[in-house]
Amino acid sequence: MRRTPLVAGLAAVGLVIAACAGDASTSSPAPPPSGASTSTVSEATSSVAVSRSDTADSESTLSTDTDLSASTTGSPSETAATTSSPAVPGGAGGKVGVYTWWAAGLEKDGLDALLALFRAEYPNDRFVSLAVNGGDTQPQLEIDLKHDNPPDSFQWHAGAELSDYIKNGQIQPVDDVIAELGGSAVFPQGLLDRLTVDGHIYSVPANIHRVNMVWANPKVITSAGLDPAVIPGDMEAWIADLAKIKASGVDTPLTVGGTWTQVQLLENVLLADLGADKYTGLFDGSTDWAGTDVTAAVADFATLLTFTDTDAADGDDWPASIDAVADGTAAYNVMGDWAVAEFNSKKKVDGTDYTYFPTPGTDGVFDFLADSFTLPVRAKNQAGAKDWLTLIGSAEGQKAFNLAKGSIPARSDTAASDYPAYQQTAIASWQNDVIVPSIAHGSAVNLAWGSDIGAAVSEFHASGDATALQSELAAAAKKNAD
């Protein structure tokens, strides 16, 4: 999973992509976290084309020099024939070239678990990693798509973030793969609805992360005279608790990192104050970004930031924010559930050293992001790509990956008892709660819209002008909404 930020530095990434592509037809910013594993994947973006060798092959490790250029230039008629070929026992055969940013830490562990299954179930196929620059696949991917030399599949966040590739005709529907996997019988309908564009689904989700989670240090809360077992019911109650914690001598009751983490905090406040229906209405035009409900949410967001370290650099990343909660210098952090890996890396005990709960006001709602894989148009080995997509969407594949990664399966036919404590709670919520898409992680808005939201939040970090922030958010919606 990309470590997020679409939002922090999207403008710069857009310039890189424009330089690579030569026009605006494929302009889409670099991969952001999704949440990240404990070992952070580099987000540095390079515009230099990476030389790849057709003979290098990577199965259990991620290679930076693997090439499928000789096998990814099939004509449309060849593509159609490949797509319609029936499944072959043991796999379609040949190389299956995949761009993925799962290059380090728990993400890499999860990929290795998937590849072991892929070799066992599809021995005719050979997985070839096309990851470059330490997992930052974006620049090379844009070059290859621009020159009609696509990989057989590439990783992206499921949802609106794929819209540019769909509009540009660079990826094709995977409805048949989803149907073969079980469709709505195994994937929540709320998820399928969020993945559907004009009646079609364009990627297969490999996992799910939850974004609307607060991570707390119970000892810090207790020291402030509060009961850590009593969860604030809404933003007003949480702000009151933050004030008490600050009054007890804690300088930074709530931690926050760089721009994308602030966008993530803002979306949590919007979800809490507006509710699920009005929150999702922000993306289809039924909720007005200039309305009074959003005004109140922006005010709460501004208040929350007064409890953070406002002197922190805008580019600070998320692990330090979790570490402050882990070591007791802060009470709370709002972060996706990849935070568990960071607590585990510090050998902190769930329920003793840290606790967690849905962001106040969002109980019963699951704010999601998903890593997913696509089926590019004109990729030669589409049958092999479908073998890969079938594996990552299967019950066995999702269990292998998510047990290693720390996320949860997108499938609803998951035995929660197979997973550790936090994942059990997330699985229960995923199967029962209202599902809404994440802004910061590309589920809710396209790349350009996400970039504009990030720019507005970054400017607010410097100016503190809440009126200007709402005005810029409304302008971004007007500019980018379909």
Run of H or E including 196? strand 196-197
Q: How confident is the model at residue 82 (pLDDT cuts 50, 70, 90)?
A: very low
Residue 204's nearest CA partner among 219, 187, 216 is 187
What is the 3-state composition of the chain as percent helix, strand, coil, each rounded to the nearest 5?
A: 45, 10, 40
Q: In the predicted model, is pLDDT for residue 121 greater than 60?
A: yes
The two structure tokens encoding residue 459: 């400017």
72-86, 309-323, 440-454: range with lowest mean pLDDT? 72-86
Q: In the predicted model, is pLDDT for residue 71 greater than 60?
A: no
Residue predicted with more confidence, 225 or 43? 225
Query: What average pLDDT does the segment 70-93 reach?
Result: 51
* Sequential DSSP letters for 338-369: THHHHHHHTTPPBTTTBEEEEPTT-TTEEEEE
The matching CATH number, chosen from 3.40.920.10, 3.30.300.30, 3.40.190.10, 2.60.120.10, for 213-361+446-480 is: 3.40.190.10
Q: How confident is the model at residue 217 (pLDDT cuts 50, 70, 90)?
A: very high
- pLDDT value for 138: 79
Query: What average pLDDT does the segment 228-234 reach?
Result: 97
Q: In the predicted model, is pLDDT for residue 381 greater than 50?
A: yes
Q: In the predicted model, is pLDDT for residue 85 greater than 90?
A: no
Q: Do 45 and 136 form a contact (C-beta atoms < 8 A)?
A: yes
The per-residue pLDDT of the chain, averaged, comes to 84
- pLDDT value for 89: 82
- pLDDT value for 87: 65
The matching CATH number, chosen from 3.40.190.10, 3.40.50.300, 3.40.50.720, 3.40.50.150, for 10-210+369-433 is: 3.40.190.10
Rounded percentage of the chain residues whose pLDDT exceeds 90: 74
pLDDT by residue (tens digit) across 180-205? 999 999 999 989 998 999 999 999 99
Look at the chain and count its residues. Answer: 482
Q: Do 148 and 435 form a contact (C-beta atoms < 8 A)?
A: no
Boundaries of every domain in the chain: 10-210+369-433, 213-361+446-480
- pLDDT value for 325: 98
Query: What average pLDDT does the segment 52-67 reach?
Result: 36
Spatial separation of the C-alpha atoms in residues 118 and 100, rounded to whole Å: 15
Run of H or E including 112? helix 105-121
pLDDT by residue (tens digit) across 427-453? 999 999 999 999 999 999 999 999 999
SS (H, E, C) 302-336: HHHHCCCCCCCCCCCCHHHHHHHHHCCCCCEEECC
Q: Does 213-361+446-480 match 10-210+369-433 at the fold level?
A: yes
Contacts of residue 51, defined as CB under 8 A and 6 or more positions apart, other chains included, come to 65
Contacts of residue 347, defined as CB under 8 A and 6 or more positions apart, other chains included, come to none
Residue 271's nearest CA partner among 157, 363, 371 is 363
